[in-house]
Amino acid sequence: MATANKTAKLPAQLVSKLREALGAGAVLEDASRLSSYESDALAMFQKKAELVVLPANTEEAAAAMRLCAEFNVPVVPRGAGTGLTGGARPVEGGVVVGTARMRQLFEVNETDRYARVGAGLVNVNLTKACAHHELFYAPDPSSQRACTIGGNVANNSGGPHGFKYGSTTRHIIGAVIVTHAGEVLDLSLPSLDPNGLDLIGLFVGSEGTFGLATEVTVKLTESPAAVETLLAVFNGEDGLDRACDAVTDMIGSGLEPSAIEILDKLTIEAVEDSVFAAGYSREATAVLLVEVDGSAVEVSGISDDVVATFKRHGADETRRAASEDERLKLWAGRKGAFGAMGRVAPDLYVADAVVPRTKLRQMVAKTVEICARHKLKLATVFHAGDGNLHPNVCYDRRDTDETRRVVAAGEEILAACVEAGGSLTGEHGIGVEKLGEIGLLFDDQDLRAMGRVRRVWDPDLRMNPGKAIPLNVCTEFGDLHLGEADKAQGEQEDRA
């Protein structure tokens, strides 16, 4: 029998009206169903959800948002919950509005190469739906078999092929947005060069703080005529260093593969022991996975140059995928790496920062040193072409002391990346994870400007409070949710 949610503090009238507007099945209240909404994929930060609503379309979403506005209740937008910064974590006294039921494929326009989809459509399903038109949707987060287009928009998600194709923002050309007050802002008509302000460019990456995207218009890309996947194996203590140097050399030489990924020894071992086994060499201390796409002539030339670069940096083995099945298997290993780490420890903290590519080797070594000093187990897998590092710290969140050390190491890693000339995030966003470090990259004037923009979209700061931008910045002109802001800031300080 379902257990009632004893912690609910929401007005009973609001809950009743939401049931009436969306249907009882779209309003989740019992604790057993709410438990899966306590966090996103960063399980380190959890809070019990008091109510979750799952509208099926824009009209239902607008009705839910109007009711939340009527009762002055905060809203937390949520896609598939695959985010890695706590951006979809519930807030006290708030309602989680999920887009998982909005899986519509409204239109595929093969002539103008765009598609209109519901925000809850799973990323990989869009490419599958376009394949017979010889088109695909380029952004490919590692979680693309689960993550949704709306969530990708919120976090400006990247992926292995971001080196050539860029992150989500380059591929979003329209959206239907439900505002904080429940108004529908229809910007769905595709526009490559918008008249006036580029509201879509501003909205992408706003982490649910500006409004809720319910429909998205995306740019589709022509499927390449040829694709080749290459693997370089590096053995020995300096294997990871040589793999990083090969990446710097490749890019410095003007080569432009579509993807450049590095996996270290612990990651390789975890993958090869899992259902994602890809045939990576167990002797390797690092493997470098490179994909090249384009015309047949272009692919052949670039691939030869990439292999020459591998050899120039002492690769112990080079391999070209001999078939489509082998190519997909190599990529399944890479994209399944985070899941495979469950064999190493029950929890995984996936850091996300960007450094200049010329400093890859230096910064990878720095992350190793930081984790060793904190006595933590580190696995490294990252988008090397973008300089987007993903140090993966394996731990057990039931161990309070180990969790404390993970948080401390994560903060050091982010600080070191910024000091090296990098950024706090390449694709995951800020969420709650990086609020304490945002001052490393932005000064008070920068943050105040961001806070003013946020208030234009959401004057009451009810949209995803305590995420993306420190709320004490946004509340300098006064705010009804100042208590929530203080609480969010206090939780951030408690992590230190």
pLDDT at 403 over 70: yes
What is residue 187's predicted lDDT score, i.e. its pLDDT? 94
Give 493's pLDDT tier (boundaries 50, 70, 90): very low
φ, ψ for residue 78, nearest 5 deg: -145, 135
Residue with the larger pLDDT of the pair 252 and 478: 252
Amino acid at 58: T
pTM score of the predicted model: 0.92
CA geometry: angle 335, 364, 233, nearest 5 deg? 55
φ, ψ for residue 276, nearest 5 deg: -95, 10
pLDDT at 126 over 70: yes
What is residue 7's predicted lDDT score, i.e. its pLDDT? 41
Give 8's pLDDT tier (boundaries 50, 70, 90): low
- Residue 194's Cβ-count burial label (10 Å; 0-12, 13-18, 19+) is middle
pLDDT at 297 over 70: yes
Residues 6+ apart with CB under 8 A from 348: 338, 341, 342, 392, 393, 394, 395
The per-residue pLDDT for range 181-236, each reduced to its tens digit, is: 999 999 998 766 767 889 999 999 999 999 999 999 999 999 999 999 999 999 99
Give me the mean pLDDT over the 243-257 stretch: 96
Give 473's pLDDT tier (boundaries 50, 70, 90): confident
Residues 6+ apart with CB under 8 A from 121: 102, 103, 104, 105, 148, 149
What is residue 68's predicted lDDT score, i.e. its pLDDT? 98
The per-residue pLDDT for range 369-386, each reduced to its tens digit, is: 999 999 999 999 999 999
Give me the mean pLDDT over the 284-294 stretch: 98
Query: CA-to-CA distance for 133 and 111, rounded, in angstroms?
Result: 10
- Is the separation of the CB atoms in 252 and 200 below 8 Å? no
Give 414's pLDDT tier (boundaries 50, 70, 90): very high
Helix (H/G/I), strand (E/B), else coil: 53: strand
Amino acid at 199: L
pLDDT at 1 over 60: no
Average pLDDT over the chain, rounded to whole? 93
Give residue 33's region: left, alpha or beta (phi > 0; psi -120 to 50): alpha
pLDDT at 36 over 90: yes
How many residues are given for the chain?
496
Percentage of the chain surpassing pLDDT 70?
Answer: 93
pLDDT at 393 over 60: yes
Residues 6+ apart with CB under 8 A from 454: 206, 209, 210, 461, 469, 474
What is residue 447's predicted lDDT score, i.e. its pLDDT? 95
pLDDT at 475 over 70: no
Query: CA-to-CA distance for 349 and 363, rounded, in angstroms?
Result: 18
- Residue 25: CA count within 13 A, CB half-sphere: 2
Q: To which residue do tokens 């939401």 refer?
A: 18
- Per-residue CA distances from 266 to 125, 141, 258, 271 (Å): 31, 21, 25, 9
φ, ψ for residue 5, nearest 5 deg: -85, 100
Domains and CATH numbers, the chain: 12-98 (3.30.43.10), 105-222 (3.30.465.10), 226-419 (3.40.462.10), 439-495 (no CATH)
What is residue 472's predicted lDDT score, i.e. its pLDDT? 76
- Is the separation of the CB atoms in 115 and 217 below 8 Å? yes
Start-end of H helices in 226-295: 239-252, 265-272
What is residue 70's predicted lDDT score, i.e. its pLDDT? 98
pLDDT at 30 over 80: yes
What is residue 340's predicted lDDT score, i.e. its pLDDT? 95
Give me the mean pLDDT over the 253-266 stretch: 97
What is residue 476's predicted lDDT score, i.e. its pLDDT? 58
The per-residue pLDDT for range 53-94, each reduced to its tens digit, is: 999 999 999 999 999 999 999 999 999 999 999 999 999 999
